Amino acid sequence: MFEGKKRDTLARIGIFTRDDLSINLPDAIEHEEIFPDLAESRCENVPLSADPEFAARYLPGGKDPVPVHPAVPVPVESGSCVMVPCWHTAFSNPRNYVKWLVALKNRVPPDTAWYAPGSALPSNVYILCYSGFDLFDFTAVDLASAQGRFCTPEGEFPADLMDSGICTCEGCGNGDLVQHNRLSLVREIRLVSWFIAESRLRELVEARCRLHSSHVAILRHLDDHGEFMERHAPVARAVPLGATTGEVLHRAEVVRFADRVCTRYTPPEGRCVVLLPCSARKPYSLSRSHNQLKGAIGGRAVELIVTSPLGLVPRELEMVYPAAHYDVPVTGYWDREELAFAAGVLSRYFEKNPPERVLAHLEGGALESARMAADKAGIDLEVTCTRHPLSPESLAGLDEALSGERKVFHDIVRGTASWQFGCTIDTSGLRLRGRYPRLMAVADRRPYFSFDTETGLLRPTLDGWTLVPGVYRVTIADFVPKGDILAPGVTGADPMIRPGDEVLVEGTGVRATGRAMMSADEMLASKRGVAVRVRKIKRE
């Protein structure tokens, strides 16, 4: 039996139980002890590229673990363990690696442990875990030992490097290459587990993959399957999003944020738009620079912040993950990919929300991307920045350019709700209480929404859900929850639900508010695990 406890996109921390054994995953095992049936296997070697007829004929049978192949549908029970024979050969073709992985992941129940036999090395186990594999063995490192290879997370080297002092493990102290290589694999798995627990595996992957071109290619091909990765990516994390490599522009959370800004987000009504630079402090409104900029604007324009890697952050969304949670090196330099990404987001926004006037209070790469977007969208750009955006001349020029413009009401609840739930809600009776960013929307002294200060998302109360029409609902069987909702009790879920989303649970005579721990697909396909962390339950 397998049960996932923590998810980080495709990677999981979980528990695999078999007979009297309980294994915390991810982990490396002695496969003969865990799966004794493998000792009787005929060692069939079915290539991953084999056609359906060949694979169906020669794929080894068995139920513990269940062998699976990209070309052959194999019935798999929820909670079991699957094995992908020959997966170590997939590294030679990153495009096929991802194609086969996506095909298998879409076919196998989500609450299933994944075993990659003979594949794991200290230098590749991080990408295997990122790909959704949980269980490994020592075959690959033992083979490397037999070949006289010294295994490290950075790669495999001649065995005499063991005497260099690079590693001080027990195996190196004893001059035992086999022990060192095994300990190196176990150590790397433990490190990967920590990064999964901290929701930071992507940052480790982007750092580790620089040493292996095939791993970079695998990461990029996975990002090319944006819809597949987005379904598994959480809508928000409790840690900053590291934006230190070019791959971050294709990360699911970044692409999702930009897409929702361009498709879901409902901006305030106003004829004039001002494009502003970002700030090191976030949310931007807490920074000294944005206080000066807002003072010059005086509420007379729709405020949009141009930034990398997100492209565009409307003022109402500056608290929403990852707008207030990304960590980017500040150098003033924008490469061509950053410019193109930001310009693409901005032009898409202008096409959906055409403004009458656009003021660009920008410099450097942000200004260049704005000009690219203006050319693409066919609009005129008025540059109000001379020298530096915060220079007295620039601020005075911005103030003068907005002379005569009417006030714009920035409705943070309406704007956030449109991005978060994909619908426009009526906020006419709501009033904000609290001190930014710790805000609550109330009406008639009753709370309707609060802002989660960690993620910037709205947390609707049961009254608040009455303003959100028919979306992000989870339906349950005929029972009254006494705590969190488990996946077997879920009978329906809005397909838009992702891990971390706020949801309304509806059942017979009961409603509950909470946070989704799984995507909608996983809730409906799983027989184990917590689907929704419940915050409040009300019988009706």
Q: Which of 356, 371, 401 is the last residue of a domain?
A: 401
Whole-angstrom Cα distance, residue 193 to residue 175? 28
What is the model's pLDDT at position 315? 97
Shared-domain flag, residues 149 and 6: yes
pLDDT bucket at 104, cuts 50 / 70 / 90: very high
Average pLDDT over residues 200-219: 96
* CA–centroid distance for 442 within its chain: 31
Average pLDDT over residues 425-437: 93
Shared-domain flag, residues 266 and 119: no
Measured between alpha carbons, how far apart are the two ends of the chain, in Å?
Answer: 36
In this prediction the pTM is: 0.94
Domain presence at residue 28: yes
H/E stretch holding 25 reads strand 21-25
Mean pLDDT of the residues in the chain: 94
Assess whether pLDDT exceeds 80 at residue 42.
Answer: no
Assess whether pLDDT exceeds 80 at residue 225.
Answer: yes
Average pLDDT over residues 412-435: 95
Shared-domain flag, residues 481 and 386: no
What is the model's pLDDT at position 43? 56
Query: 3-class SS at 531?
Result: strand
Shared-domain flag, residues 40 and 120: yes
Assess whether pLDDT exceeds 80 at residue 89.
Answer: yes
**What number of other Cβ atoms are within 10 A of residue 6's Cβ?**
14
Q: In this structure, is the dihedral angle defined by the CA atoms of residues 154, 156, 157 and 159, taken in order, positive or negative?
A: positive
pLDDT bucket at 38, cuts 50 / 70 / 90: confident
Which amino acid, 417? Answer: A
Whole-angstrom Cα distance, residue 186 to residue 466? 50
Cβ-Cβ contacts under 8 Å for 407 (sequence gap 6 or more): 298, 299, 300
* Tally of domains within the chain: 3
Whole-angstrom Cα distance, residue 319 to residue 249? 19
Domain presence at residue 222: yes
Query: 3-class SS at 525?
Result: helix
Measured at the CA of 176, the angle between CA 171 and CA 177, to 5 degrees, comes to 95
Whole-angstrom Cα distance, residue 275 to residue 105? 42
Strand pairing partners for 155? 152
Average pLDDT over residues 415-439: 94
Decide if 461 contacts 536 (C-beta within 8 A). yes
Average pLDDT over residues 413-440: 94
Shared-domain flag, residues 361 and 248: yes
Whole-angstrom Cα distance, residue 500 to residue 62? 37
H/E stretch holding 15 reads strand 11-18
Q: Which of 206, 228, 250 is the last residue of a domain?
A: 228
Average pLDDT over residues 161-178: 93
Domain presence at residue 324: yes
Shared-domain flag, residues 152 and 215: yes
What the block records as the tokens of 122 is: 């200290």
Per-residue model confidence as pLDDT tens digits over 315-363: 999 999 999 999 988 888 899 999 999 999 999 999 999 999 999 999 9
Shared-domain flag, residues 217 and 250: no
Domain presence at residue 504: yes
Shared-domain flag, residues 198 and 264: no
Cβ-Cβ contacts under 8 Å for 334 (sequence gap 6 or more): 308, 342, 364, 365, 366, 368, 369
- Residue 281's closest CA among 291, 266, 268, 269? 291
Domain assignment of residue 183, given as a range: 2-228
Domain presence at residue 33: yes
Assess whether pLDDT exceeds 60 at residue 460.
Answer: yes
What the block records as the tokens of 530 is: 């917590």
Assess whether pLDDT exceeds 60 at residue 20.
Answer: yes
Q: How would you classify the pairing of strands 149-152 and 155-158? A: antiparallel
Shared-domain flag, residues 153 and 266: no
Shared-domain flag, residues 196 and 248: no
Q: CA–CA distance from 340 to each of 116, 310, 383 (Å)? A: 38, 12, 20
Assess whether pLDDT exceeds 70 at residue 297.
Answer: yes
Shared-domain flag, residues 224 and 264: no
pLDDT bucket at 169, cuts 50 / 70 / 90: very high
Check which CATH number belongs to the domain holding 358 and give it: 3.40.50.10630
What the block records as the tokens of 198 is: 């901290």
What is the model's pLDDT at position 1? 84
For the chain, the 3-state helix, strand and coil shares in percent, each to the nearest 5, are 40, 25, 40
Domain presence at residue 345: yes
**Which H, E and C letters describe 338-394, residue by residue?**
HHHHHHHHHHHHHHHCCCCEEEECCCHHHHHHHHHHHHHHCCCCEECCCCCCCCHHH
Whole-angstrom Cα distance, residue 412 to residue 267? 10
Cβ-Cβ contacts under 8 Å for 348 (sequence gap 6 or more): 262
What is the model's pLDDT at position 59? 84
What is the model's pLDDT at position 44? 67
Check which CATH number belongs to the domain holding 187 and give it: 3.20.20.105
Shared-domain flag, residues 393 and 528: no
Q: Which of 191, 206, 228 is the last residue of a domain?
A: 228
Check which CATH number belongs to the domain holding 485 and give it: 2.30.130.10
pLDDT bucket at 37, cuts 50 / 70 / 90: confident
* 422 phi and psi angles, rounded to 5 deg: 70, 25
**What number of other Cβ atoms are within 10 A of residue 173's Cβ?**
12
